[in-house]
Amino acid sequence: MLALFNALVVRDLRLALRRRSEALLPIGFFVIAVALFPLGIGPEPQTLRAIAPGLMWVCALLATMLSVSSLYNSDHADGTLDQLMICGHGSFESAVVIAAARSAAHWALTGAPLVIAAPLFGLMFDLPPPTIAMLAFTLLLGTPILSLLGSVGAALTLGLRSAGVLVILIVLPLTVPALIFGTGAVAAAEGGQSAVAHCSLLGALLIFTLLTAPLASAAALRLAVE
């Protein structure tokens, strides 16, 4: 199962390199959206510092939603998903590995670049170094949650018409706790308060999502293939 997981992650990353425009779309959206807000709101440093945590988290969430609807569509359309399920003898464990690998590859392509880019935009919003560090840390904990929940939504809507809209309707309400805890931790760090409680809740949510989301995605994938 570990070999299958590694092979699927490497395969997805290679396919993304061949389709660079699709892979760079979420990152481009995040960069443009975050960069345009100071132009519309104004250069007041205090205002920018106040809106920066929520703004970056919302932009990261929306950027992730741009690509989750197509997580399984291409493989389902050309029969690759059926072949992958057959290679695992149709077992539930193989479906879990497929879902986990797809979520990991999606995070590597979307979540990881957002975590790397966040400190640069933190400087643009005049955030102090401790707040920038907390912002990057919360995104590091929170963006895998977005990818895992997006995988569940993509699997549930696989093969349905208007799947993109349905994925957003399913996934967005589930991501609200991560958004609240992530922005709360950054706001606490900005105000000089302890962010341990928010980070602990965000970490607990990540663990819970890691344990349950691949199982839910695997069950939905098996239903879609059968």
Mean model confidence pLDDT for the chain: 85
DSSP 8-state class, residue 176: H
pLDDT of residue 43: 73
Confidence check: pLDDT of 103 > 80: yes
Task: Categorize the per-residue pLDDT at 16 as very low, low, confident or very high, splitting at 50, 70 and 90.
Answer: confident
Write down the domain spans for the chain.
2-225
| 110-162: pLDDT as tens digits | 889 889 988 888 888 888 888 899 999 999 999 999 999 999 988 888 877 76
Share of the chain above pLDDT 70, in %: 97
Higher-pLDDT residue of 52 and 198 is 198
Q: Cα–Cα distance between 44 and 49 in angstroms, integer? A: 9
**pTM (2 decimals)?**
0.88
Helix (H, G, I), strand (E, B) or coil at 19: coil
pLDDT of 1 above 80:
no
pLDDT at 88: 58
- Contacts for 23-30 with beta carbons within 8 Å, 24 or more apart? 23/109, 25/66, 25/67, 26/63, 26/64, 26/66, 26/67, 26/109, 26/110, 26/114, 27/63, 27/110, 27/113, 27/114, 27/117, 29/59, 29/62, 29/63, 29/66, 30/59, 30/60, 30/63, 30/114, 30/117
What is the pLDDT, as a whole number, of residue 178? 93
User: Is residue 112 exposed (0-12), middle (13-18) or buried (19+ Cβ within 10 Å)?
Assistant: middle
Distance separating alpha carbons of residues 99 and 5, to the nearest angstrom = 9
Per-residue pLDDT tens for 59-98? 888 888 887 877 887 777 777 777 777 765 557 788 888 8
The answer for residues whose C-beta is within 8 angstroms of residue 178's C-beta and 6 or more apart is 142, 145, 146, 202, 205
Is a pLDDT exceeding 70 seen at residue 13?
yes
pLDDT tens-digit profile of 181-199?
999 999 888 888 888 999 9
Q: Which pLDDT belongs to residue 136?
A: 92
Residues 6+ apart with CB under 8 A from 59: 29, 30, 33, 34
More confident residue, 202 or 94: 202
Distances (CA, A) of 84 to 22, 72, 161, 163, 184: 23, 12, 23, 22, 41
- Burial annotation 15-44 (CB, 10 A radius, 16+ → b, else e): ebeeeeeebeebbebbbebbeebbeeeeee
Cβ neighbours around 137 below 10 Å, total? 19
